[in-house]
Homo-oligomer: A and B are copies of this chain.
Amino acid sequence: MKLVIAVVKPFKLDAVKEALKVLGIQGLTVTEVQGFGRQRGHTEVYRGAEYEVEFVPKVRLEIVIDDERMPEVLDTVVAAANTGKIGDGKVWVVPVEEVVRVRTGERGSDAL
């Protein structure tokens, strides 16, 4: 199995989630993160003091899937998250050796 990790713009979360639903993806886990990259951050000013913020809010999605679904999931996420503007984010894939569903103890594909 694979773990697909996608870091995308927060307001794209709905779109990605809906697209994955269509694919029949049963679940995913989301984390609010801060991204650093080409997209520059911003400056904040409090009482005349300037603070530089080089990070940009992003959401990070984790999706565990069966190997064969990997390509379509990858394409779907990329398509749904794309705005064509800098800072759209990255998606990467990591191998998964085992998955367990806590409730039932099922393992492997059945756990998804």
Check B74–A100 contact: CB distance below 8 A. yes
Residues from chain B with a CB closer than 8 A to the CB of A5 are 62
Check B17–A54 contact: CB distance below 8 A. yes
Copies in the complex: 3
Interface bits A17-44 vs B (CB < 8 Å: 1, else 0)? 1000000001111110111111000000
Q: List 27 A-B contacts (CB under 8 A).
A: A3-B92, A5-B62, A6-B102, A7-B29, A17-B54, A26-B37, A26-B38, A27-B37, A28-B37, A29-B35, A29-B36, A29-B90, A31-B34, A70-B98, A74-B100, A78-B105, A82-B102, A83-B103, A85-B103, A86-B103, A88-B103, A91-B102, A92-B96, A92-B100, A93-B97, A94-B94, A94-B97
